Amino acid sequence: MKREDGLLTRRFNKLLIANRGEIAMRILRACHELGIKTVAVFSDADRMAPHVRYAHEAYHIGPSPARESYLVVEKILDVAKKSGAEAIHPGYGFLAERAHFAQACVDNGIVFVGPPARAIHVMGDKQEARQTVRAAGVPIVPGTEPGLNDEEMIAAAAQMGFPVLVKAVAGGGGKGMRPVHRAEDLPDAIAAARREAMAAFGDDVVYLEKMITEARHIEIQLLADSHGNVIYLGERECSLQRRHQKLIEEAPSFVVDADLRRRMGEVAVAAARAVNYVNAGTIEFLLDKDKNFYFLEMNTRLQVEHPVTELVTGIDIVQEMLRIARGRKLRFSQEDVKIKGWAIECRINAEDPYNNYLPSTGVITTSRLPSGPGVRVDTGVFPGYEITPYYDSMISKLICYGETRGEAVLRMRRALEEYRIMGVKTNIPFHQHMVESHRFLTGQFDTSFVETRFSMDDSIGETHELEAAILATLAAHRQGQQASQIVARGARDTSNWKYLSRWERLRR
């Protein structure tokens, strides 16, 4: 079936994954479970990436920078034609929310596993999105029109009252977004937001929005089929962020009761219906301390944090996306969706929490994943994998499930301890501090918590300086002994290599 607004649904048996990393693996697994053949694409940097090794077919599409490979529409479509892929799943990031890409797929007779191009376009333009959902009765945060010049914005901010947020019209993921608390900081913030938006999106149009303080970021996961059915899969709590990058997500939320869940869910469904939405999508809301909620934006794609919803609903969101794209009806009604238990996700990033969260690049030398009951790890890295500046710094998503929130938190603490990853600095210590913090344990946090009141200074549990000192000394001692025996060559009748391996065997 082909629709006017750029939606094509049809049965398909071979799918191209226009992405990389953990999300490419996630999609690939769903495809293989449904018996769909997979086609991977890869840049120079990703020849040995797991999505290449696990897919049925893989095609090289260019140099490491994404704009020369994963972001080039023509290259992706070429591979689709060459390989005979009948569908494309864009994952998140890259081409996932580019309406022209969705349209190009459909124009080439390829199923785009996502919403109609028109819905991506409307929801991708923040202003048009606000106007559209407001007309559908969805509450929105007060703000200015876009396209005002700096002076007009400064005047508007004075009327609105501080704090305000400077936001890029084309923005996303916190890029081109700046909170401003004092009038004198506004001109600099506008300049920085314009600069960042220009660099990231090639568009420097910004606008202002009233900043809701002590707000939580709560989002509603939706599934919509091409037959007009739309359901919500409950909420995700995503308030723990730093510079608008989510760090920990959970489902359900500490502060959302059944009544609020129903009300937010129904508003989210109305917002999706306003753009004739199809497939998986997420409505992001701000929830203020009086439990008023405001539409922030719609993410017209699969989200990084989708696993927490999968664990508490038992619904495989990626499989459902594939079914919807094949033109099938939803298998669930709203009444079938039941929230059971609690799930928490920690994003493990290559960054140093002890040094202002600076990104860390390098080669992963050791990667031993935690496992056991209630633990899921979605990752695309492996020993030998290099964290480069070409792509984002996420190493993996560590997701834990429990019957209760307490059980999920204890599991997370255990799993973080078990995780052995070496070669780059990671934010595992950040997560360890967080799961020990009183405010996290009692669910008392908002979107500003990580940046304003959270500290890495408080020591957590026991430290292991003595053990570290002993281990390093023993390692140095062994290395020194081996080295000194290797130097004494000639006195031995055999090669140093043989000698070394004998020596190591003796010491097992």
Partner 1 sequence: MKYYTSVNNQEYEIEIHHERELVVNGERYEIDFQKLPDAGLASLLLRNRSVEAVIEERDGFWEVLIHGQLYTVQVQDERAYRLAQARGTAVADGAGDVHAPMPGIIIAVSVKVGDHVKQGDKVAILESMKMENELRAPRDGVVTHVNVHPGSSVEKNAVIVVIESQS
Least separation, in Å, of the C-beta of 265 and partner 1?
33
What 3-state class would DSSP assign to 314? coil
Least separation, in Å, of the C-beta of 120 and partner 1?
21
| Closer residue to partner 1 in complex, CB, 122/387 | 387
| Closer residue to partner 1 in complex, CB, 24/364 | 364
Torsion sign (Cα): 258, 261, 267, 270: negative
CA distances from 225 to 31, 197, 272, 279, 280 (A): 18, 33, 11, 6, 9
In this structure, what token pair is assigned to residue 432? 């360890």
| Closer residue to partner 1 in complex, CB, 229/482 | 482
Name the site residues for partner 1 (rule: CB under 8 A). Answer: 175, 192, 195-196, 199-200, 243, 352, 355-356, 358-361, 365-366, 368, 383, 389, 391-393, 416-417, 419-423, 425, 428-429, 432, 463-477, 479-480, 507-508
The type of residue at 455 is S
| Closer residue to partner 1 in complex, CB, 195/453 | 195
d(CA 362, CA 354): 18
- Find the distance separating the first CA and the last CA of the chain, reported in whole Å: 66
CB crowding 152-186: b at 16 or more within 10 Å, else e: ebeebbeebeeebbbbbbbbbbebbbbbbeeeeeb
Nearest to 284 by CA among 300, 296, 269: 296
Least separation, in Å, of the C-beta of 130 and partner 1?
25
68: CB partners within 8 A, 6+ apart: 43, 62
Nearest to 300 by CA among 120, 450, 108: 120
- Told to judge if 301 belongs to the known catalytic residues of this protein, a careful annotator would answer yes
User: How many residues comprise the chain?
Assistant: 508
| Closer residue to partner 1 in complex, CB, 75/433 | 433
In this structure, what token pair is assigned to residue 265? 């869910």
Contact 231, 317 (CB under 8 A): no
Least separation, in Å, of the C-beta of 149 and partner 1?
23
β-pair partners for 231: 223
Nearest to 383 by CA among 399, 368, 361: 368
| Closer residue to partner 1 in complex, CB, 15/193 | 193
Least separation, in Å, of the C-beta of 431 and partner 1?
8
CA distances from 508 to 478, 483, 503 (A): 12, 18, 9
Least separation, in Å, of the C-beta of 218 and partner 1?
25
CA distances from 1 to 321, 322, 347, 479 (A): 16, 15, 38, 67
Query: What letter would DSSP give residue 370?
Result: -
Least separation, in Å, of the C-beta of 462 and partner 1?
9
Contact 226, 1 (CB under 8 A): yes
Least separation, in Å, of the C-beta of 225 and partner 1?
34
| Closer residue to partner 1 in complex, CB, 93/252 | 93
Which candidate in 301, 323, 376, 411 is catalytic? 301
| Closer residue to partner 1 in complex, CB, 159/484 | 484
Active-site positions read 301
